[in-house]
Chains A and B, each alone.
Chain A
Amino acid sequence: MRHTLSVLVSNHPGVLTRVSGLFARRGFNIESLSVNSTENPDTSRMTIVVEGDVAALEQIRKQIHKLVEVIKVYDHTEESVVERELALIKVSVETRNRNEIMQITDIFRGKIVDVSDKAFVVEITGSEDKINAIEQLFRPFGIKEIVRTGKIVLARGSKNTE
């Protein structure tokens, strides 16, 4: 089962290495990872997507929590959250399919952020499924390159993400 963990850490150099090293050492493969500063300049938030059964995840969560620079670890898997990823997709364009690509982009509320005679760069945000879906639809036209951020999440409502 896939889990989404929020890890709130002190904003020290090397803390990313500590967390990612721990995952590797304990045999967990990180599927996606995003790190950035938070509302508090002393802390950063890592959002980590990882695959594993409940007991294994419980263990890795406790191990992460033991790191001195980790302030909080939270598993969002069972929670109501807003989750987003951002992707930039460079899709091949020919005159005959230009409109179709623009329509698909519109339907997904994406943006065409770069235009040339052979390719568009489409910017798309949303859940992982949504990005997977547009990627599928673009594939027949020819995807030249794709880059995706890791997933980020926040708890819904006034409750803090922890």
Chain B
Amino acid sequence: MKINGARILIESLRREGVEVIFGYPGGVVLPIYDALYDVEGIRHILVRHEQGAVHAADGYARATGCVGVCLATSGPGACNLVSGIATAHMDSIPLVAITGQVKTTALGKDSFQEADVTGIMMPIVKHNFLVKDVRDLARTVKEAFHIASTGRPGPVVIDLPTDVCSATMEFSYPEKINMPGYKPYYEGHPMQIKNAARLIKKAKQPIILAGGGVVAAGASAELTKLARLTGIPVATSLMGKGVFPEDDPLSLGMLGMHGTAYSNYAVHEADLLIVIGARFDDRVTGRLDTFAPNASVIHIDIDPAEIGKSVAVDVPIVGDARNILQTLLEEVKPMEITAWRERIDEWRRQYPLSYGCDGTDGIKPQAIIETIHRLTEGKAIITTEVGQNQMWAAQFYKASRPRQFISSGGLGTMGYGLPAAIGAQIACPDDIVFDIAGDGSIQMNIQEMATAVSNKLPIKIAILNNGYLGMVRQWQQLFYDRRYSHTDIGYTNPDFIKLAEAYGAMGIRVQTPEEVEPALQRALECTDIPCIIDFIVAREENVMPMIPAGGSIDKMMVD
């Protein structure tokens, strides 16, 4: 039986195991929406803005490890996906985005709602396709999912002209993939693994630095084994948060610009860095020529292009972190590095993550995060917006497992947290999902409250409301002589309680430290609608410690 391209698309998605699509309809995707009208086994979540769709698909992917799928119409719909696709690309998140396109005969003619989506997306995708013939469609979907989910994961865009969706043919789903230019490496080179083991054996002051690649490889258990067997302390990047339990005595928490002082001192003094699935982002290294000046570097990464990109590497191992760590585990033994760990613990005592609690200037945002951590027993899924809220969440919500802390790392996309929370809550209906937000960021995708309400998602949105674009204000305070240019939004913020209620959600305002815990309790009791908790926090609280951009460890401000 012949079916049309739209049905071929849906059937192909089903073959790939897709259960949820986040999307928004429009003119050229009418055939696809018609096919979705009575589809079984695939749930379509209607968002209120295409950026919400792509971030929700991204949040879904980060929470589960499965490929997230989103759907938008041509032109403006596709363009609205751009920041979300770039977000997923920077953080190596597997996504397949399907965009409608004008019919093939109208391509290149400045047709209504036409945009060169292939061209626009090219720099921010792992790969993208323009399907011009219905006979290529099923194969393209198969290739798209393969590319998105294997090797170093990433977003793939399929641009689909409307006449291809209407054309009909017999459906058959290809079984094999033939892409001569795409062959990810999975096995680490045995010789290099031996070399790595030799370096580890000689090291006196080693540190493991784990990133998002450990999450993607599902190598958290192997990493934990390696650390506990050898006794090597573990620092993580923002993307690696949760791959090693942060309450473990070997955990140094997050390193980098707003990382713990002790992790940064440890990296600075280390004689060996074992870097696993991390890419030496400038927010991690600060000034490159003073980064880990005494350390040899072992770099394990699935992407050969990351080796030596920013930092010279002594032992490169290209491959899947899980495979490599399994082999490496057979080569290493417990190490005599007690003196090193004691030195680190001394830093830990001297420079703990802390904040002043004199109670004079209102609620401390850090205390809110700690309370959320306590009340959720450290088990909630945390999404964040971007800015101070994100850094406080990263510092004070101690993660215990991978895929628990969901945040836009590389691109730093404001407006990410709420739609990502929607994706995570749909993926994990039994988990408690918190979006840690700022009063600035939350307004970038506030329209997704409607999506959360209409799907009865009990997301908790904790707005750390200081009436500022706080992180920018912090930089203005420290580096621009307190000239708060266009960062004070306090006078024009909406009433977030009324806003929540207007959407049919719950809203709670918290103005004193005593109200924090009862308000969170009430929010946690709310099980079928989202809840905004508007915490009026200390206005000029800063994120500390801080290494200024491009600075070195000795420029670290502790408070």
Contact = CB atoms under 8 A, between A and B. Distances in A.
B181 A67 contact: yes
B160 to A, nearest CB: 16
Contacts of A65: 304-305
Contacts, number: 38
Interface in B293-316: 303-305, 307-309
Nearest to B180: A71
Interface in A46-74: 55, 58-59, 62-63, 65-71
Contacts of B307: 62
A161 to B, nearest CB: 16
B266 to A, nearest CB: 28
Contact of B181 (A9, A17, A62): A9
A2 to B, nearest CB: 21
Contacts of B127: 67-68
Nearest to A60: B305
Interface in B124-140: 126-127, 130
A62 B118 contact: no
Given A9-B181, A71-B181, A66 B305 contact: yes
A43 B181 CA distance: 11
B122 A17 contact: yes
Interface in B187-216: none
B67 interface: no
Interface string A1-44: 00000000110011001100100010000000000000000000
B119 A17 contact: yes
Contacts of A70: 181
B66 interface: no
Interface in A67-104: 67-71
Given A68-B127, A68-B147, A58 B308 contact: yes
Interface residues of A, number: 20
Given A68-B181, A71-B181, 19 more contacts: A10-B180, A10-B181, A14-B118, A14-B130, A17-B122, A25-B123, A58-B308, A59-B305, A59-B308, A62-B304, A65-B304, A65-B305, A66-B303, A68-B147, A68-B179, A68-B182, A69-B181, A70-B181, A71-B180
A9 B127 CA distance: 14
A136 to B, nearest CB: 40
Contacts of B123: 21, 25
Contacts of A66: 303, 305
Interface in B308-335: 308-309
Contacts of A18: 122
B157 to A, nearest CB: 12
A55 B308 contact: yes
A119 to B, nearest CB: 39
Per DSSP, chain A at the interface is helix
Interface in B510-559: none
Interface in B267-311: 303-305, 307-309
Interface of A: 9-10, 13-14, 17-18, 21, 25, 55, 58-59, 62-63, 65-71
A71 B181 CA distance: 4
Contacts of A55: 308
30 contacts: A9-B181, A10-B180, A10-B181, A13-B130, A14-B118, A14-B122, A14-B130, A17-B122, A18-B122, A21-B122, A21-B123, A55-B308, A59-B305, A59-B308, A62-B304, A62-B305, A62-B307, A63-B305, A65-B304, A66-B303, A66-B305, A67-B127, A67-B181, A68-B127, A68-B147, A68-B179, A68-B181, A68-B182, A70-B181, A71-B180
Contacts of A14: 118, 122, 130
A66 to B, nearest CB: 6
A65 B182 CA distance: 9
Interface in B170-186: 179-182
Contacts of B182: 68
Contacts of B147: 68
Nearest to A15: B181
Nearest to B123: A25
Nearest to B126: A68
B125 to A, nearest CB: 10
Contacts of B180: 10, 71
A29 B8 CA distance: 43
Nearest to A61: B305
Interface string B95-124: 000000000000000000000001100110
Contacts of A59: 305, 308-309
Most buried by A among B118, B179, B305: B305
A29 to B, nearest CB: 17
A54 B308 CA distance: 12
Nearest to A43: B180
A21 B309 CA distance: 19
A58 B122 CA distance: 22
Most buried by B among A59, A62, A67, A68: A68
Interface in B460-510: none
A19 to B, nearest CB: 11
A62 B152 CA distance: 14
A58 B304 CA distance: 10
A25 B122 CA distance: 11
Most buried by A among B126, B180, B309: B180
Contacts of B304: 62, 65
Nearest to B154: A66
Contacts of A21: 122-123
